[in-house]
């Protein structure tokens, strides 16, 4: 408990420091998008589809441009945001994907290998359909078994990070250049994990609740978790 509290305090300090230098670039993270609240597995990581659409509309009203993950790497004067979906629940396929495709909005999905085809999650066929139909759909690795990488041995952590991308490359026939650390907080991501991710991936996302700065490490890009309770305030000036 003491060690966990230290990590928590360290995360809060890092977020506070980064907020002072926020440069207009932002990544946001969703998990389960589901209108039926009775199906939510955890309200901290769930949002209704109607709430999701309101959040998108609010982004546009605030002057944000929704961009590809690679566009986020360019530090310029534009206010831009990347939409990411961890674990990839089935609601992303049935509700979110048709909406984003119609609106021509880019987004990134991060499936954990061992969660593919599990009840309530996307399977390989669904992901292939999205990738083949819509060029604005990007896919990244999210580990093999969705575990806390920092609690593994060096070899185990390395396998989770690198092998998960290799599996997805064989599965979908395209390079996997993006990674999202499971859990993503400093408690789950250390220098060892960042170094390993940097060997293969151009971009790796964590879960610091803040935006990017000119000094952001692309092996550990912060993302704001958006859910039903905070989607009306999860933007700079509120969360940041």
Q: What is the full per-residue pLDDT of the chain (240 aa) written as tens digits?
A: 556 666 567 677 677 777 888 999 999 999 999 999 999 999 999 999 999 999 999 999 999 999 999 999 998 989 999 999 999 999 999 999 999 999 999 999 999 999 998 999 999 999 999 999 999 999 999 999 999 999 999 999 999 999 999 999 999 999 999 999 999 999 999 999 999 999 999 999 999 999 999 999 999 999 999 999 998 877 665 544
DSSP 230: T
Only one residue has tokens 């609106």, namely 103
pTM value is 0.93
- Percent of residues, the chain, with pLDDT higher than 70: 93
Q: Which H/E stretch holds residue 50?
A: helix 49-61
The dihedrals phi and psi of 47, each to the nearest 5 degrees, come to -150, 145
Q: Are 203 and 69 spatial neighbours (Cβ–Cβ below 8 Å)?
A: yes
Structure tokens at 129: 């359909």
Spell out the alpha helix ranges (H) of 82-153. 90-91, 97-103, 124-133
Supply the mean pLDDT for the chain.
Answer: 93
Only one residue has tokens 């390395």, namely 158
Q: Residues 6 or more apart from 146 whose CB is under 8 A from it?
A: 87, 112, 114, 115, 182
Give SS3 for 237: coil
């Amino acid at each position: 408990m003491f060690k966990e509290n230290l990590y928590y305090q360290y995360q809060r300090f890092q977020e506070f420091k980064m907020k002072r230098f926020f440069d207009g670039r932002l990544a946001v993270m969703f998990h389960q998008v589901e209108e039926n609240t009775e199906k939510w597995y955890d309200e901290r990581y769930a949002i209704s589809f109607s709430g999701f659409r309101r959040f998108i509309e609010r982004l546009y009203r605030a002057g944000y441009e929704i961009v590809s993950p690679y566009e986020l790497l360019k530090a310029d004067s534009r206010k831009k945001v990347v939409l990411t979906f961890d674990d990839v629940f089935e609601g992303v396929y049935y509700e979110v994907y048709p909406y984003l495709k119609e609106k021509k909005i880019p987004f990134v999905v991060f499936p954990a290998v061992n969660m593919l085809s599990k009840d309530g999650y996307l399977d390989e066929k669904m992901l292939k359909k999205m990738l083949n139909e819509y060029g604005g759909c990007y896919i990244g690795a999210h580990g093999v078994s969705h575990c806390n990488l920092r609690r593994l041995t060096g070899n185990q952590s390395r396998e989770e990070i690198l092998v998960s991308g290799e599996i997805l490359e064989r599965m979908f026939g395209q390079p996997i250049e993006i990674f999202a650390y499971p859990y993503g907080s400093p408690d789950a991501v250390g220098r060892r994990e960042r170094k390993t991710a940097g060997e293969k991936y151009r971009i790796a996302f964590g879960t610091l609740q803040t935006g990017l700065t000119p000094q952001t490490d692309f092996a550990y890009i912060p993302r704001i978790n958006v859910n039903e309770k905070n989607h009306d305030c999860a933007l700079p000036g509120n969360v940041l």
